[in-house]
A and B are shown apart, each in its own frame.
Chain A
């Protein structure tokens, strides 16, 4: 199975399997990754699935949409590569993906 690694703010990594077609938020919450909450169920409506993509992966994942920007840009931890995990659909190309988590979700 393809895997993705979520790295907590304090550096703790969580490597989990993902299923193609699901969102990275679903993958994380199904595997109880701490720090991804997903309060709106994946509609880009709550901002609690904020992740930061590392530079070497951003061309694979793509940058955030306007809808995502509306929510994440209010976070003081928002960075150029910030995205909402619920809007990132997992694909085979993302096998081995590494993302960082902010210290806090909104």
Chain B
């Protein structure tokens, strides 16, 4: 039997752990923020400002000056020709000077796979975006084995196929809710109403985050992955720190809330519950930066990637009407089409590595410490791997061989979840709509890392028999 004293004691202990755990994470974020501000005041570490200018054609630029770090490349439709030229003329290309520092570009499929599977020579530490980030949050996507393996194993259960199977009907229910609320009598923004909405709901479910507040997840994710210094995006450093501190505060509170509910006998298949029920991770909260890193990784990793695949698929089918007809005639093609959408879109253009030693690679001499960018966006359009690579073909035989999920130890942990969401989305779309028309041009995200859409106006035509 529980005595009153017992309960009180436990409450005290819980408050104490809470204080120990909350203070450091937030304070570390704040301290890093102050340091950056102080640097700025001293005239150092000035925030990077990037201004959009028309980008010349690939053929008009000397090879040595071909700068694929430009965050406007995809928006201006130049990415295809720039990478094609690199693949043909300089597959391992050195850019001595860019707003993100000097870097090597690897652009052929086979070379990228070779780098991605050689973690010993090509380290993912300390960050996987091109430039610097204001605060290095401990995420296992940017750790090498063996540290990486331990961390990944601790959390992968949440998106493991076994867990997903149990979640499938819930995922479908939530997707159906979104689709059934869409207007068919007027155009609307697909990105906001469908892509963001579904991925937000999914993440909230996965994390058991308060459902009504799910847009916060979208905001944090965009702010954290979109710093100008890191990826050429539009997030100011101050915004980054604000988002990170908020995320830390809310998730540490969530941890304690879940712990209390677990004591009442509540169960669940969300990330925090899984962490709390595994011996290796049940004390994760006493390692707050690690806890924060794992959460941030799931929030950022699972967010705009899937979102932009949901928008990209609609755009690809709009631009390739014959493929949409083929799909309607044969819905069994959906799983293969999902892979083709992910190949065609390549939601994350690259991952970065650092050479751990001097190495000869692809006829070039890469020095220890050099930065190497593996351009998945280029590998996915490599004509040596994919026949007519720029074409969108829903029945492409080797679509599954795309490299959008990366290869090697860091291969995307959420790939099955992403595929499942897209598959269900298309199954339910086909059941409801005859036409999905994109009106005008979508707007493109400013980034050299995320390949995505800001707005995409769509008009739906319901199925006549439905």
Contacts and interface: CB of A to CB of B under 8 A. Distances in A.
Given A44-B117, A45-B113, A103-B162, A71 B409 contact: yes
A71 B145 CA distance: 11
Interface stretch (A11-19, A33-41, A57-65, A92-100): A33-41
Given A40-B113, A104-B160, A47 B411 contact: yes
A3 B401 CA distance: 27
22 contacts: A39-B405, A40-B113, A40-B401, A40-B407, A43-B113, A43-B117, A45-B116, A45-B117, A45-B407, A46-B407, A46-B411, A70-B119, A70-B408, A74-B149, A74-B409, A76-B157, A103-B162, A104-B160, A104-B161, A104-B162, A104-B416, A106-B411
Interface of A: 37, 39-41, 43-47, 67, 70-71, 73-74, 76, 103-106
Contacts of B153: 74, 76
A46 B408 CA distance: 6
Q: In terms of DSSP, what is the predominant structure of the interface of chain A?
A: loop
A43 B118 CA distance: 12
Nearest to B415: A106
A79 B113 CA distance: 26
Contact of A37 (B149, B400, B407): B400
Nearest to A45: B407
Contacts of B157: 76
B408 A74 contact: no
A103 B156 CA distance: 16
The 7 closest A-B pairs by CB, nearest first: A104-B161, A45-B407, A45-B117, A39-B400, A41-B401, A40-B407, A45-B408
Q: In terms of DSSP, what is the predominant structure of the interface of chain B?
A: helix
B236 interface: no
B156 A43 contact: no
Given A39-B400, A43-B113, A70-B145, A76 B408 contact: no
A13 B433 CA distance: 40
B249 interface: no
B385 to A, nearest CB: 9
Contacts of B407: 40, 43, 45-46
Nearest to A37: B400
B75 interface: no
Contact of A73 (B116, B149, B401, B411): B149
B356 to A, nearest CB: 16
B152 interface: yes
Given A43-B113, A74-B149, 7 more contacts: A39-B401, A39-B405, A43-B407, A46-B407, A70-B145, A71-B408, A104-B160
Among A37, A39, A76, residue most surrounded by chain B Cβ atoms (within 10 Å): A39
A59 B270 CA distance: 42
A46 B404 CA distance: 12
A84 B12 CA distance: 51
Among A43, A44, A46, A104, residue most surrounded by chain B Cβ atoms (within 10 Å): A46
A45 B412 CA distance: 12
Interface string B113-144: 10011010000000000000000000000000
B341 to A, nearest CB: 15
B113 A74 contact: no
